[in-house]
A and B are shown apart, each in its own frame.
Chain A
């Protein structure tokens, strides 16, 4: 009866093998040969623009290209997995600005300065907006170059031109006091169908990103310039958080779980007069199949208060991993992909905002209604503030976000929230060695 024994013992192997035959896919290929370039990117328009450019580059140069994409919320994990293990799967990673300091400080990225020198260039073109150049350097603004600014992005203030005109603010509010005073009137008379101001209150990155411009406008800062002190215990910080609580009182209920998409929904349906949001939504506001407010949305810089308003910069950066196998090829591609003509092309095809001054001023683009926000965005980026350039920003942001969420949800007073955040963030900064 041996055949049965053999059959039994081998059944697993046979089935497994046949399953494997079915299940073949392409094996991971070495990308050193033939100048292949592998790009890791998120699969939103920002990433798709670069991906398309890479395909085109591959055809032009006759080299193999591969695009590895993942949803925004997961591309970070994929990149960290590759970078921290030094596996060199990717030749180019597209990264969101808040991740940059961690990547650069951990020496996961290639210093691009020698490559510029070899080409006889001093560094990034001066056509790039200064603030966009600054965030590509480590240390900030003064250090070596580790990335190209691929896609421009900064928060803007969105307002309803028609509604604010009734309150004599046709070009948008100049100060946060205006925002609250007018916003309160609008909310009070809106009967639950029109709110003066909407805010992103979801715990984590959303609530912090929404709050930082307000925080800065009130003259507050999270850290001293050298990061050796946490400065959330100042009167300016308290004023800002108190003001946030006031804004919550005129915002739509449910703010505590809103992210950018919910805010855009209120805007599209015509249920809100003012908000801070990202330019990615501008195109849909002027699209009559989505929007009830076509032609009614205006854009302005962040309102001022104690100091001039400044928005948070959120560029997408393209960098070359330290373990990449085709660094020169990747560099050559990125030089081309971030050129003015390519940026213009990506703006037309994907609606991606540029990072070059000349593209922001391009007459063809400005003639189209969906790019009407370009001058405001160029100004917002020029006057933007980066997130604190610390490697543990994710954790600091998370901690601050928990306390802000408590204020938005009304379960903690602004004083207590700031005191708690001051203590906890100080502990985090000590752990990371910024505070001795």
Chain B
């Protein structure tokens, strides 16, 4: 009993620490300027205002939102499609020599180089391909950027699927691809969902590539809108918080809805790789 109470106390206190800055952002987005800096702090403003959101709408909020939705979902689809195949190959087949380990490590290592250095050549490449200021350009960049994570997660899930299941099917006359599609793939669907959610979150938040590869609201995403509220001299607190709230809210609601599925998906087959 005491241990349960202790657990509850620990959870409540930490939840407070976790929630406070988030509530702070949301409440700042509906405060008037005078209330933002008052001490003691005001959590629920007496005269809440939605004017910040209205200002963002005139700034083109909906096109940023639409770009973000399209880019992150397309990225997740593309990355999962390619990454799952690669992961299956690495998990199931033996490449000559030590190439399984080498390829896996190489894929992971593409995530290690500081992105700030790769943006210049990436920008040139996208220009040559005519993809600057397009959502497609962003999707391709994000697919590459998320690939290591996806391959490593999915690889772990496939390793956990007993090979016997596929072998039995193949004895029955299935081809390898058939076995993959009919036997292994359905088993890792929760893992796929979980990984896809992660990919959505990571591309939803990405700032640097978006900054360099997009030019106007035709393709720019929400993080660009957020940082636009920090001008040379002034920080537009209300608008920035409103933009932050809008960026956070959809993912948060989404995470709440799929939370159970997310953890179960991740847990399928222990996150071993």
Contacts and interface: CB of A to CB of B under 8 A. Distances in A.
A and B, one complex? yes
Contact of A25 (B77, B211, B219): B219
Contacts of B81: 11-12, 15-16
Contacts of A73: 227, 230
A169 interface: no
A81 B77 contact: no
A1 B177 contact: yes
B105 interface: no
A269 B39 CA distance: 11
A281 B232 CA distance: 11
B234 A71 contact: no
Interface hub of A18, A44, A284 (most chain B Cβ within 10 A): A44
B34 A290 contact: yes
A8 B230 contact: no
Contact of B123 (A71, A81, A290): A81
A12 B82 contact: yes
Interface residues of B, number: 49
Contacts of A16: 78, 81-82
A336 interface: no
Interface string B209-221: 0011001101100
Interface in B176-213: 177-178, 180-181, 211-212
A71 B231 contact: yes
A261 B211 contact: no
Interface in B15-41: 32-34, 37
A12 B216 CA distance: 29
A28 B234 contact: no
A224 interface: no
A89 B228 CA distance: 21
Contact of A8 (B67, B77, B131, B180): B180
Given A1-B178, A26-B218, A71-B230, A19 B37 contact: no
A4 B70 CA distance: 29
Given A19-B78, A20-B136, A71-B230, A4 B178 contact: yes
B155 interface: no
Contacts of A7: 177, 181
B198 to A, nearest CB: 17
B241 interface: no
B175 A261 contact: no
Nearest to B226: A71
A42 B136 contact: no
Contacts of A27: 130-131, 133-134
A103 interface: no
Interface hub of B37, B70, B124, B232 (most chain A Cβ within 10 A): B232
Contacts of B65: none
A12 B178 contact: no
Nearest to A38: B215
B272 interface: no
B74 A1 contact: no
A87 B74 contact: no
B211 A74 contact: yes
Contacts of B132: 28, 89
A87 B215 CA distance: 14
Nearest to B75: A19
B135 A74 contact: no
A25 B218 contact: yes
B233 interface: yes
A281 B234 CA distance: 8
Given A74-B211, A281-B233, A1 B174 contact: yes
Contacts of B34: 289-290
Contact of B233 (A18, A25, A89, A260): A260
A85 interface: yes
A66 interface: yes
A280 interface: yes
Given A1-B174, A15-B81, A87 B127 contact: yes
Contact of A43 (B124, B228, B233): B228
A392 B33 CA distance: 39
Interface hub of A24, A27, A78 (most chain B Cβ within 10 A): A27
B177 A8 contact: yes
A44 B231 contact: yes
Interface in B109-164: 120, 123-124, 127, 130-136, 138-139
Given A26-B218, A280-B234, A20 B82 contact: no
B263 interface: no
Interface string A249-270: 0000000000011001100110
A15 B78 contact: yes
5 contacts: A4-B181, A8-B180, A28-B215, A66-B215, A290-B33
Interface of B: 32-34, 37, 67, 70-71, 73-75, 77-78, 81-82, 85, 120, 123-124, 127, 130-136, 138-139, 174-175, 177-178, 180-181, 211-212, 215-216, 218-219, 224, 227-228, 230-235
Given A1-B178, A25-B218, A28-B130, 12 more contacts: A5-B175, A26-B133, A27-B130, A27-B131, A44-B231, A66-B215, A69-B228, A71-B227, A71-B228, A264-B233, A280-B232, A289-B33
